[in-house]
Chains A and B, each alone.
Chain A
Amino acid sequence: MASRRPSGPFDQLAEYFADHPRALLSLQIVPPLVFVFFFVFVPLASIFAWSFWTVENNRLVPGFSTSAYEEFLGIGGLPTWRLDIFLKTLRIAVTQTAIALVLGFAIAYFVGIKMRGSKYALPLLLLFAVPFLTSYLLRTLSWYIVLQSRGLINTVLQSIGATNGPLPGLLFSEFSVHVGLLSTYLPFMIFPIWLAMSRIDQTVLAASADLGGRPRDTLFRVVVPLALPGILIGSIFVFVGVLGDSVVPEILGGATDSSRTLIANLIDKAISGQQYPMAAAIASIILLMAIGLIWGWERAFGLKKIGEI
């Protein structure tokens, strides 16, 4: 059959790209690059720029002032309470990530390895996603009801005679903040780890056992290394999520241990108080920290590792 000569503009365009594959590649890359530039880079760069501006007559005025950073860091004898809140948030975020990792790994291991092939594995896993069908606010408020003095836990404990009165520190404490954060962010740890584990070939696990590896050896020397990308991704999801959470501490945090204000609440308060440069400076510091984390990841494992799950 004789080949047809292109006549319409589409055909000519198709022929051109067939002859110039690099041009086609550029055409595919440019739209997402433009999108990322305008919807990611420009907003983030704007936040960074605003952190050096000033507020005059309730309006942001372009300029260059480092006073927001100085106030945040407590430079020049200024109080360091904002920095203290930032460090407290980091501590809570690290603790929360560790708690989520221990629980999330155990659940993912049970579902992904122990229940492999079971028809109940996936439904069990999906149960952890069910709370996400409700409002985040309501989900957090439900913990308020469970943990309060006359809540479910205290009522049960008192009715069976385990306690004489409400347990102190159950609500309005760092404990209740951790409970609320755990219920919110645990699935973000479970699913990446489960996904990584589900890719581990059964024959690899069998080989470990055949070579005399005890279950513990298989767990720590086979499963954990192969699930590492999932563990790292889950950890970043939880860590970053906690850094940006203002709802849980607002509802469940208390005054005594200062657990009601994390860094995201501080940004909220700075915005409502028209301290826009301060809000931008805090956001910029968090952003720089996130970039540092990614850089550390690249140095330690390489970014290609992310694609391995």
Chain B
Amino acid sequence: MEEKPQGQQAVSEGRGVSRRTFMKYVGVGAVVAAGVGVGAYAYLNRPSGVSAAPLQWWGIGTGNPERWDGLNDAGGDVVFTEAPWDPVPVLNKMKADGRNAYDVISNAGTLDDPLFADGSIVDFDPETLPSWSKIYPELRTNNPTITVASTGQIVGVPIVQNGDSVAMLVDELWPGTGQPGQGSDTYGLLFDSLTTGKSSMEQSWACAIYKVANYLGRNHLQTIEDPASLTTNDLNTIKTFMLNQKAAGQFKVFWEGWNTAVSLLANKEVLAMDTWEPVVFALRTQNPPINAVYMAPKEGYYLWNIPIYMTPKGQSQTKDRCMHLSQWTLEGWYGARITTIRGYLTATPDAIQYAQDNPNAGGGPYDTAFIQSRHTLVKQKFSDGVSVYGNQAPPNVQDYQDTWTQVTS
């Protein structure tokens, strides 16, 4: 019998595969794997025309129409990536790599100042858009969410907006009347004995804290210098008030997320909640429908606005398409679509006309009366002289966060 080479024999006994053969296979395998890897890398990073790459839009989901009717003909594809509402991660992301990854962004308004100061967004002359003059004056002028405070430059296009207040369950709070009763016009309802143990506020400070500030300041219960921009003293005042309320058992839970908000009210776990208006719409469409009403607070709404901003990448590589996208958000289909699926106000009256002319267009049907009523109602919030925008990026943001974390912990 032929003797195997010693080294080969030592490894291959009982296996039928020699070490040399094994090493050969490993070598061939490694070469093949490396070849496939290089090929795949080259394929994934293959050069492509700038125009072929989809526009990268990073924004809060509220502004996502989920369809792109009428845009793709001239604007190409758009990839919408959901962004957080929380301002700090947005500023970080944009500072880190967002400015080079996205063409346009649409985040909580009033972030424009720090974003612009960081170089994360640019002045792209939005006033030159064809529909700019159609934007409601309430949104186009004196709008802190699109205007850089220090220079007065316009750097954003307002696309979606509303004024937030409180959702109330009428039949439980004022049984037998069918209508909101005493206390239904003030944020004080959240702190009233009527809702003790059945009241809820949002876990995040970004909206909730301004409602408390409005309540305390406008009713002269405490000294709040400016409800839209809270000082450390103001925050301490709010904290003391809220901690006392919490200790007295006023709040059932601090909520977070759309589903939780709807579920808490639908199951009557809470009867009054500072939340978004579409929560009320969702409650009204439950089976059986819930008699929910959105408060018109005498202290004013918490105004918010989601503008579209252009990044340095958008300006240098895809400016025309970004302008086209921005223009598209001011036109009829986008407006009708957003108001229909979210109930929020868009920037121009084109949405109403579009719904009237195209009630069964893609993404519809579109109810002109509903869209008209939403535009009328929400526009009033922006011109009532009482409602305020809250600053999402105040210089003392750490104090804001500490205050609300302590309150909700």
The answer to whether A and B assemble together is yes
Q: List 16 A-B contacts (CB under 8 A).
A: A4-B6, A6-B6, A7-B6, A8-B7, A11-B7, A58-B91, A58-B95, A81-B406, A81-B409, A150-B267, A255-B408, A256-B251, A261-B405, A269-B405, A272-B89, A273-B402
C-alpha spacing A149/B172, complex, angstroms:
14
Given contacts A150-B267, A172-B269, A272-B89, contact A255 B19 (CB under 8 A): no
C-alpha spacing A8/B91, complex, angstroms:
61
B182: interface (CB < 8 Å): no
Q: Which residues of the other chain, A, contact B88 by a CB distance below 8 angstroms?
A: 58, 272-274
Identity of the chain A residue whose Cβ is nearest the Cβ of B400 in the assembled complex: A273
C-alpha spacing A274/B252, complex, angstroms:
28
Shortest distance from the beta carbon of B93 to any chain A beta carbon, whole Å: 10
Given contacts A58-B95, A274-B92, contact A261 B408 (CB under 8 A): yes
B137: interface (CB < 8 Å): no
Q: Which residues of the other chain, B, contact A254 by a CB distance below 8 angstroms?
A: 252-253
Shortest distance from the beta carbon of A266 to any chain B beta carbon, whole Å: 7
Q: Are B269 and A148 in contact (CB under 8 A)?
A: yes
A79: interface (CB < 8 Å): yes
Q: Are A255 and B6 in contact (CB under 8 A)?
A: no
B39: interface (CB < 8 Å): no
> Which B residues lie at the A interface, using CB under 8 A?
6-7, 10-11, 19, 86, 88-89, 91-92, 95, 197, 200, 246, 249, 251-254, 256, 267-269, 398, 401-402, 405-406, 408-409
Q: Are A255 and B405 in contact (CB under 8 A)?
A: no
Q: Are A256 and B197 in contact (CB under 8 A)?
A: yes
A111: interface (CB < 8 Å): no
Shortest distance from the beta carbon of A251 to any chain B beta carbon, whole Å: 8
Identity of the chain B residue whose Cβ is nearest the Cβ of A71 in the assembled complex: B402
Residue with the highest number of chain A CB atoms closer than 10 Å, among B95, B251, B252, B253: B253
Shortest distance from the beta carbon of A263 to any chain B beta carbon, whole Å: 10
Residue with the highest number of chain A CB atoms closer than 10 Å, among B256, B269, B401, B405: B405
Given contacts A8-B6, A256-B249, contact A148 B398 (CB under 8 A): no
Shortest distance from the beta carbon of B3 to any chain A beta carbon, whole Å: 10
Q: Which residues of the other chain, B, contact A85 by a CB distance below 8 angstroms?
A: 409
Q: Which residues of the other chain, A, contact B253 by a CB distance below 8 angstroms?
A: 172, 253-255, 260
Partner of A256, one of B6, B11, B252, B408: B252
Q: Contact string, A1-39, partner B, CB cutoff 8 A, digits 1/0? A: 000101111110000000000000000000000000000
Name the prevailing secondary structure of the A interface residues. Answer: loop
Partner of A255, one of B11, B252, B401, B406: B252
Q: Which residues of the other chain, B, contact A255 by a CB distance below 8 angstroms?
A: 200, 246, 251-254, 408
Q: Are A273 and B401 in contact (CB under 8 A)?
A: yes
A171: interface (CB < 8 Å): yes
Q: Are A171 and B10 in contact (CB under 8 A)?
A: no
A54: interface (CB < 8 Å): no
Report the count of interface residues on A (CB-CB < 8 A): 32
A275: interface (CB < 8 Å): yes
C-alpha spacing A274/B91, complex, angstroms:
11
Q: Are A260 and B409 in contact (CB under 8 A)?
A: yes
Q: Are B409 and A58 in contact (CB under 8 A)?
A: no
Partner of B398, one of A168, A250, A253, A275: A275
Partner of B86, one of A9, A58, A250, A272: A272
C-alpha spacing A261/B253, complex, angstroms:
11
Shortest distance from the beta carbon of A180 to any chain B beta carbon, whole Å: 14
Shortest distance from the beta carbon of B221 to any chain A beta carbon, whole Å: 21
Identity of the chain A residue whose Cβ is nearest the Cβ of B89 in the assembled complex: A272
Shortest distance from the beta carbon of A64 to any chain B beta carbon, whole Å: 20
Sample of 13 more A-B contacts, CB < 8 Å, known A266-B405, A273-B398: A7-B6, A7-B7, A8-B10, A10-B19, A58-B92, A256-B252, A260-B409, A266-B409, A269-B405, A272-B86, A273-B402, A273-B405, A275-B398
C-alpha spacing A184/B347, complex, angstroms:
49
A258: interface (CB < 8 Å): yes
C-alpha spacing A9/B377, complex, angstroms:
85
Identity of the chain A residue whose Cβ is nearest the Cβ of B259 in the assembled complex: A141
Q: Which residues of the other chain, B, contact A9 by a CB distance below 8 angstroms?
A: 7
Q: Which residues of the other chain, B, contact A148 by a CB distance below 8 angstroms?
A: 267, 269
Given contacts A7-B6, A273-B88, contact A256 B246 (CB under 8 A): yes
Q: Which residues of the other chain, A, contact B200 by a CB distance below 8 angstroms?
A: 255
Q: Are B254 and A10 in contact (CB under 8 A)?
A: no
Q: Are B269 and A171 in contact (CB under 8 A)?
A: yes
C-alpha spacing A172/B405, complex, angstroms:
18
C-alpha spacing A126/B241, complex, angstroms:
50
Shortest distance from the beta carbon of A264 to any chain B beta carbon, whole Å: 12
C-alpha spacing A85/B200, complex, angstroms:
21
Shortest distance from the beta carbon of A52 to any chain B beta carbon, whole Å: 18
C-alpha spacing A149/B264, complex, angstroms:
10
Identity of the chain B residue whose Cβ is nearest the Cβ of A258 in the assembled complex: B409
Q: Are B254 and A260 in contact (CB under 8 A)?
A: yes
C-alpha spacing A10/B402, complex, angstroms:
63
Shortest distance from the beta carbon of A87 to any chain B beta carbon, whole Å: 13
Q: Which residues of the other chain, A, contact B254 by a CB distance below 8 angstroms?
A: 255, 260
Identity of the chain B residue whose Cβ is nearest the Cβ of A255 in the assembled complex: B251
Residue with the highest number of chain B CB atoms closer than 10 Å, among A7, A255, A256, A266: A255
Q: Which residues of the other chain, A, contact B6 by a CB distance below 8 angstroms?
A: 4, 6-8, 11
Q: Which residues of the other chain, A, contact B398 by a CB distance below 8 angstroms?
A: 273, 275
